[in-house]
Every structure is written in structure tokens, then in C-alpha cells.
Chains A and B, each alone.
Chain A
Amino acid sequence: MRRNNFIFGLLLTILFVVLQSTLLQKIAVNGVVPDIALIIIVFTSNSLGTMKGQMLGFIAGFVQDFLSSGPLGFNALIRTIIGFFFGKIKGKLFLDSILLPIIFIVAASLMKEALIALTGFIFIADSQIIFFGRDFFIELGLNAVLAPFVFALLKLLKIYRINEKGGY
């Protein structure tokens, strides 16, 4: 049952990575698309725990790297750590419909940007990546607005098992 949940989460994340590079570009705000794949990684990690969260982040990150001009492994590293972190807080917080999804995604987006800065600094010589620039704040806003809707839709699918402590 849980393996199926993981595969479902993985396929859904990969689907949205591809959609983010194609169809969602048509509704981009100033060329910025929301990171729906990140929202799914956060939700899935928080539902399935650390092990599956980090594996999901790792595989989905690698898929994103294949389609990106960034170095292979860049997104895999960042999303593995995000998956691990949100898996760790599984069941520790009561997940309401609006506030906590927004807090989760704002935290995940900030964490992602900080890890991009750190990874770029360590691994990319003469890195020209813009950190916490205009695009980041647009993405942060889009992610925060979409988070409650994506969380609600994923809950409606009832694929993820509700854990014993009342969280997802």
C-alpha cells in the first residue's frame, strides 16, 4: 500500500516537473512558474516519512536536472534535503486546510533558495545564479497561493494514509 503511495507521489511529481517546463509556461507570471513539484514533494514527504520523502526528492530532482541547464545533481541534492526535512516532521503538527500548507511551502521555498545559494557557492565556480531576487519572490507568492489548493486536492485523492497521530 505504502509503496503504491510512493510511486503515485513520484509519478505525480515527475508529471508536474514536465508540465512546469511546457504547459505551465503559458501562464507564467513575468516568466516565473510556480513550483508545484515542490509542493507535492513536501506533502508526500510529510505523509510518508523521511525515507520515502528523501527518495522522492532525489529522483524528482534528478528528472528536473535532466531537463534543466543546471548541473546534473543540483536539484537532486536540494530536493533530497527538503524531502528529508519534511519527512522528519511527519505527524508532529496538525495539518489544517490553509495556514499550515502555506507555512510549509513558504518554509520549503526559503529552504530551497538557501540551498541553491549554498550549493551554487560550493559547487559552481563563478556562479552567476541570482539568489533571493525578483523571480524568487514571485515564485514564493505563487507557491503560497497554490499550496492550500494542491494540499486539498492531494487529500481528496485519499491515496496517502492518515497516520496515527492525526497528521497526514
Chain B
Amino acid sequence: MSDFFSFFRKYREISTLIILILISSISIGLNNSEKLINPKEAGFTVFSAFQRGVDGIGNFFSNTVNSINELSELREAYEQLQEKVTEYSEIERNIEELKNENADLREQLGFSKTSPYKNIPARVIGKDPGNTFNSIIINKGSTSGIERNMPVIALKDGYHGLVGKIADVGAFTSVVIPIYDESAYVSARLQESRYEGLITGRGYSDSILTMDYIKKIAREHIKYGDFVITSGMNSLFPKGIYIGRVTAIEGKEWATSLQLEIEPVVEFTTLEYVFVLQRSEE
């Protein structure tokens, strides 16, 4: 035993390196096993609190700046009102703009009530800290009823578009794997022609998706701009959720199936609000 300790003292740095590599490797190996307490979820809960904090500070400064701007605008309007009564038309115009803004927000928030799916609204608070993995972090976790593999959608131009699925859940935050991730597979269907295929991502938030395994016979029935929706077959995702539109059709002579390029309905680079669907209400 004393030999071991003297060896460790002699090669302290390299021994520590080996121990740290072993811990990391075991941790990666254990990652997929079912555990009573998931260390990744526990750690995510702790450190995502910092993310919420940073997000909160960012919002505080942004709201303060907005408040100052609003106060300044109000003062200007007041001075103008004192000078001329006709300035009321300007105020009416401002009210009209606010009404439009409110209508947009109502469309987002009201989706919860009008949607055919029971859902949990959430806000995007961060993304993966590195560039190797694709993930989106939202501000709702297990305390809000979110569970692993729940589908996530977003409202865009009146369409409910597929965002991805829940991968990890903390107490107050969750990690979403988006459909543009290379590991994401979604069973899909062309809305018009009803042909089925499999959607895969290319790993970039600003890139298109690929739809594979569509029967060649479908070629004459598919048009550019056709919508692709979830098929609901053998999938986590309920059927009928919009995925994207066809932007290119590729059918090589030697291939047995067609390949389509799909532009996602959801704009991932500017995504702010999402809805997590509860599976039982499909």
C-alpha cells in the first residue's frame, strides 16, 4: 500500500491525469444507464440556475432601457399635446401600433388555449455552450410537468412548427434536441400527396432538413412548396405538426427512393417561445 502512495507521490501529475480521465470515461459510459438519481440531471439543475440568473439580469437591463425609452416617448407626447390638440392623431396612431403588437403577443400566448394539444408554454433561455452538440435550453422543467421525450413546437406565421423533443429535464429548465440535429429522426408525410418519408437534420440551425425514403412513384405528385407534416407513425411526435416546405427534389436514376430538401417552418436562429406538448393529450 505504501508503495502505491509513494508511486502516486512520485508521479503525482500523470496519476491525477489518469484518474480524471477514468472518471470522465466512466461517466460517459454510465450516461445511458437508468439510475435512481441521474447525476447529469442533478448537475444540470444546479448549473442551469446560473443560466436563469444571467438571463434574468439581461432581461432586467433590457427592461430598464425599454422603460427609460418609454418614459422619454411619453414626455415628448405630453409636450406635443400641450402645444397642439391635433397631436391626438399621433397618439391614436401609437395606440394602433400597440394594438398590433398586442395582437401578435396574443397570438403566441393564446395558442395555449386554441391548440388541439395540451401544452406547456416556455421561453428559450440559452443554447449549448459549445458548438459540438445542438441543444436549446428552455425555462421550464420537471416542476412544470415536463418529462423526457415530450415533443416541442413553436408558432410561426400561424403554423405550429416542430422544434424537437425534450432530451434532459432539470427542476426548472430543460434541454431540447432540435430537429436540425444530426441525431434527430422524424417520421414525416407530405401533406398533399400523403407519401411518407424520414426527416433528418444536417447539424446546423440555419440549414435545411433532408427527407429520405420517399417512393419514386411520388415524383410526379410532389410540388415545390408542398408542406411536410409529422406522420405520427412509430414516433414521439403527434401527427399533423408542420415540419417544413419542399425546396428541392432529388431522384437519382440508380436510387430506389427520392430525397427532398425541406426548409423548416420554424426559424431556429430567432426562436424565442416554444410549447412543450403533453403526450397524453395527443
Binding site for B on A (CB under 8 A): 14, 17-23, 25, 30-33, 35, 37, 50-51, 54-55, 58, 61-77, 80-81, 84, 87, 116, 119, 123-124, 128-130, 133-136, 138-139
Q: Are A21 and B24 in contact (CB under 8 A)?
A: no
Per-residue A-contact encoding for B129-145, CB less than 8 Å = 1, 0 else: 11111110100000000
For chain B, which range describes its interface: under 10, 10 to 19, 20 to 34, or 35 or more residues? 35 or more
A23 to B23, CA, bound (A): 31
Q: Are B203 and A133 in contact (CB under 8 A)?
A: yes
Q: Are B137 and A72 in contact (CB under 8 A)?
A: no
User: Within the complex, which residue of B12, B28, B126, B204 is in contact with A73, where a contact is CB–CB below 8 Å?
Assistant: B28
The answer to whether B269 has its CB under 8 Å from any CB of chain A is: yes
Per-residue A-contact encoding for B37-62, CB less than 8 Å = 1, 0 else: 00110011011101100110010000
Q: Are B28 and A22 in contact (CB under 8 A)?
A: no
User: Within the complex, which residue of A23, A33, A74, A81 is in contact with B131, where a contact is CB–CB below 8 Å?
Assistant: A33
Contacts of A135 in B (CB 8 A): 131, 203-204
Q: Which of B155-169 contact A (CB under 8 A)?
A: 167-168
14 residue pairs bridging A and B, Cβ less than 8 Å apart: A21-B51, A22-B126, A31-B127, A65-B27, A66-B43, A66-B46, A69-B168, A73-B31, A76-B20, A119-B28, A123-B25, A123-B29, A130-B182, A136-B131
> For chain A, what secondary structure do more than half of its interface residues adopt (helix, strand, loop), or is it mixed?
helix
Per-residue A-contact encoding for B59-103, CB less than 8 Å = 1, 0 else: 000000000000000000000000000000000000000000000
Q: Are B24 and A70 in contact (CB under 8 A)?
A: no
* Contacts between chains A and B (CB distance < 8 A), count: 158
Contacts of A84 in B (CB 8 A): 13, 17
Q: Are A74 and B47 in contact (CB under 8 A)?
A: no
CB distance from B135 to the nearest CB of A (A): 4
A58 to B50, CA, bound (A): 19
The answer to whether B16 has its CB under 8 Å from any CB of chain A is: yes
User: Within the complex, which residue of B24, B133, B135 is in contact with A80, where a contact is CB–CB below 8 Å?
Assistant: B24
Taking A30-B206, A69-B175, A135-B131 as contacts, is the C-beta distance between A80 and B25 under 8 angstroms?
no
Taking A22-B54, A128-B182, A129-B182 as contacts, is the C-beta distance between A69 and B21 under 8 angstroms?
no
A37 to B130, CA, bound (A): 10
Chain B's closest residue to A18 (CB) is B50
Contacts of B134 in A (CB 8 A): 69
Taking A21-B137, A71-B28 as contacts, is the C-beta distance between A64 and B48 under 8 angstroms?
no
Chain B's closest residue to A15 (CB) is B50
The answer to whether B256 has its CB under 8 Å from any CB of chain A is: no
User: Within the complex, which residue of B16, B31, B130, B204 is in contact with A35, where a contact is CB–CB below 8 Å?
Assistant: B130
Taking A72-B27, A72-B31 as contacts, is the C-beta distance between A66 and B48 under 8 angstroms?
yes
Contacts of A21 in B (CB 8 A): 51, 126-129, 137
Contacts of A14 in B (CB 8 A): 47, 50
The answer to whether B229 has its CB under 8 Å from any CB of chain A is: no
Q: Are B177 and A69 in contact (CB under 8 A)?
A: yes
Contacts of A69 in B (CB 8 A): 128, 133-135, 167-168, 175, 177, 181
The answer to whether B26 has its CB under 8 Å from any CB of chain A is: yes
